[in-house]
Amino acid sequence: MIKLTQTVKKGGCAAKVPAMVLKEILAGVKFPPKIQGVVIDGDSFDDAAIFKIDDNISIVQTLDFFTPIVDSPYDFGAVAAANALSDVYAMGGRPKTCMAILAAPMATMEYQVIQEVLQGSCDVIAEAKASLVGGHSIDDDTLKFGLSVTGLVSNDKVWSNEGARPGDVLILTKPIGTGTICAGIKKEFYTATEAHEALSSMKRLNNAIDFLSAEDLQHIHGATDVTGFGLAGHSYQVAKASDVSLKFNHKQIPLFDLTVASLKAANLTKAHRSNNDYTQKVLQFKNIEEVETQIYFDPQTSGGLLLSVSPESAEGIVKKLETAFPKTSIVGVVEKRSEFYVYVE
């Protein structure tokens, strides 16, 4: 059986263009004017775009694709789908339609492998109560797969990375560590069975809204999903967009059972380094072992939601989310903007 991770140099969200490189590239591009109806675009590095349809409803639009991060074709398709759908959930929306993005070496890859990738994706899309309505495919040297996703959200329920308020509590819904663990899989350091906890998490939809009441949702002021830029990178983007500082309690960060051991075994990606470079001037560590600082630079694939929540509602929201996301944790607080955007102690 083909091992997909051995067919590519880098996989999952660790294959993203580094944030600093991307910003430099985009700085040299003249974008078209923002048309009427565009509420959120790429200016703040938010998770998806918001286009206002009328006084009640907006479209949520996003896309995501990458190279294999796991060996199983079915699991790769499922992870890629959950990861792409996550951006809609991170904006407070519900996915409705998906279009597939597929590149594959047609001359050398068995059709069954591609079918399994698509089936894994379809099963997760069905779980999200969305539809696959088409897509586009090309013949390429390496397998790549993902989705363009369109969702809907009520105008008064949009989450963004600009909404964090001083005094809010930070909640994280999934453990950190998929980057280092998947690097270990690629090195054949871990089997799929040994990495089962991380693989299951990556396939898990980020449909937190399905487990919360309308009142709970009103107390969530801002959100993002933690993916390729790591907890540090995405927290920095929230803090900058909201003009606040985020302070994390290191001991409260949820981790997979293998995370620290994998980091100590030096199962790292280039994204660990580029995420460090991206945030080194805006992040301050206090009394954290050097190896454990890598937790914050670990590139997540289909990582959890980071929610900025009213303090009086935080405990109740955590209890509800724990039924679907067992390691949901209160991980820090939002403070007034100070010298650094992100603090860890």
Domain ranges in the chain?
A: 4-155, 169-344
Q: Is 4-155 in CATH node 3.40.50.1100?
A: no
pLDDT at 9 over 80: no
Six token digits for residue 64: 């995501």
* Eight-class DSSP state of 32: P
| pLDDT score, position 10 | 72
- 71, with CB counted inside 10 A (0-12, 13-18, 19+), is buried
For the stretch 164-209, pLDDT in tens is 999 999 999 999 999 999 999 989 999 989 999 999 999 999 999 9
pLDDT at 2 over 80: no
Cα 342 to Cα 224: distance, rounded to the nearest angstrom: 15
| pLDDT score, position 278 | 95
- 7, with CB counted inside 10 A (0-12, 13-18, 19+), is middle
Cα 225 to Cα 230: distance, rounded to the nearest angstrom: 10
For the stretch 42-99, pLDDT in tens is 887 889 999 999 999 999 999 999 999 999 999 999 999 999 999 999 999 999 999 9
Of the pLDDT bands very low, low, confident and very high (cuts 50, 70, 90), residue 19 is: confident
Cα 305 to Cα 329: distance, rounded to the nearest angstrom: 11
Of the pLDDT bands very low, low, confident and very high (cuts 50, 70, 90), residue 126 is: very high
* Eight-class DSSP state of 255: B
| pLDDT score, position 42 | 83
State the average pLDDT over residues 249-259.
98
Question: Which residues participate in catalysis according to the annotation?
Answer: 13
CB 285, CB 30: distance < 8 Å? no
Q: Higher confidence at residue 96 or residue 4? A: 96
CA-based Rg of the chain, rounded to a whole angstrom? 19
Cα 278 to Cα 275: distance, rounded to the nearest angstrom: 5
Which CATH code for domain 169-344?
Answer: 3.90.650.10
Q: Could you tell me the pTM of the whole model? A: 0.95
CB 92, CB 214: distance < 8 Å? no
Of the candidates 177, 164, 302, 126, the one whose C-alpha atom is nearest the C-alpha of residue 242 is 164
Q: What angle do CA 219, 317, 315 make, to 5 degrees?
A: 105
| pLDDT score, position 182 | 93
Residues with Cβ within 8 Å of 340's Cβ and at least 6 positions away in sequence, in order, are: 245, 282, 283, 284
pLDDT > 70 fraction of the chain, expressed in percent and rounded: 99
Residue-averaged pLDDT of the chain: 95
pLDDT at 335 over 90: yes
| pLDDT score, position 13 | 65
